[in-house]
Amino acid sequence: MLMKQKILPSIMARSQKELNEDFVKLKSVVKELHLDVADGKFVQNTTLWFPFKLSKKFTYNAHLMIKDPEKWIKAHFSQIWLFIPHFEEIKDKEGYISWMKKERRQVAFALKPETKVKGLVPFLNRIDYILVLTVHPGFYGAKYLPKELKKIQEIKKVNPKIKVIVDGGMCPETINQAKQAGTDYFVSGSYTTKSDNPKKAIKTLLGAMRT
């Protein structure tokens, strides 16, 4: 279901007004958005932590930087097609994977920089997407951590079919490095969503991947 266009603009909104402004800015640019949800506990920031209303002009995946993600997933099950909770926050991993499979949903997990791939190995053959964070989560514009890209090869060595999403620091100077490391989809917030011209920014990023 992820779009063929590889760039996914991310949304970090603290109010419906801010969220609506992002929808207007991106409505003719992409068909899918990456929602960054933060509860102020898993990370120090809060984003999309209010009773938001989503535009029907997009489909959504949601990166859940929150405690107790299963509760949020149940509350928003019909609105989001792909949930990406942090691997560390799912206590019963087998139970969670079975739940998603039973609901005919694809399984995804996010890995913060401190999380090693080793802990995922027993589950990798039942996972569809892994989001590799190349920044410490929570804010736009955090410091880019290129060494995290090494995780992609570790993941795909176990399950080559997994789609890897890279999130953090994606700009024309870094995106080709992420592509060469084996990334399938690229999340960009500061460079795209916050740009005055998101369409041009995405075109620039796609061009940088071909250089």
Mind listing the pLDDT tens digit for each residue in 177-200? Answer: 999 999 999 999 989 999 999 999
Instruction: Please provide the size of the chain in residues.
Output: 211
- Give the integer Cα–Cα distance in Å for 132 and 108: 11
Assess whether pLDDT exceeds 80 at residue 61.
Answer: yes
Portion of the chain with pLDDT greater than 70, in percent: 95
How far is the CA of 174 from the CAs of 80, 116, 134, 179, 181, in angstroms?
A: 29, 22, 11, 9, 11
Neighbours of 143 (CB within 10 A): 9
Can you name the residues that pair with 63 across neighbouring β-strands? 36, 84
Confidence of residue 142 (pLDDT cuts 50, 70, 90): confident
In whole angstroms, what separates CA 38 from the centre of its chain? 12
Is residue 147 scored above 60 in pLDDT? yes
> With left for phi above 0 and alpha for psi between -120 and 50, is residue 141 left, alpha or beta?
left
Q: What pLDDT band is residue 4 in, cutting at 50, 70 and 90?
A: low
Would you place residue 6 in the very low, low, confident or very high pLDDT band (cuts 50, 70, 90)?
A: confident
Distance of alpha carbon 132 from alpha carbon 113, whole angstroms = 8
pLDDT over 80 (residue 2): no
If one counts every other C-beta atom within 10 angstroms of the C-beta of residue 139, the result is: 16
Q: Return contacts of 71-79, CB within 8 angstroms, 24+ apart.
A: 72/37, 77/103, 79/54
Query: What is the average per-residue pLDDT within 22-29?
Result: 95
Question: Residue ranges per domain, the chain?
Answer: 7-209
Mean pLDDT of 162-174: 95
Look at residue 3 and tell me whether its pLDDT is greater than 50: no
User: How large a percentage of the chain has pLDDT more than 90?
Assistant: 91
Our separate counts of H helices and E strands in the chain read 6, 9
Query: Where does 7-209 sit in CATH, by number?
Result: 3.20.20.70
Q: Is residue 170 predicted with pLDDT exceeding 90?
A: yes
Q: What is the pLDDT of residues 78-132, one digit of tens each?
A: 999 999 999 999 999 999 999 999 999 999 999 999 999 999 999 999 999 999 9
Assign 209 a pLDDT band (cuts: 50, 70, 90): confident
Amino acid at 149: L
Task: Note whether 123 and 51 are within 8 A (CB).
Answer: no
Backbone angles phi, psi at 193, to 5 degrees: -60, -40
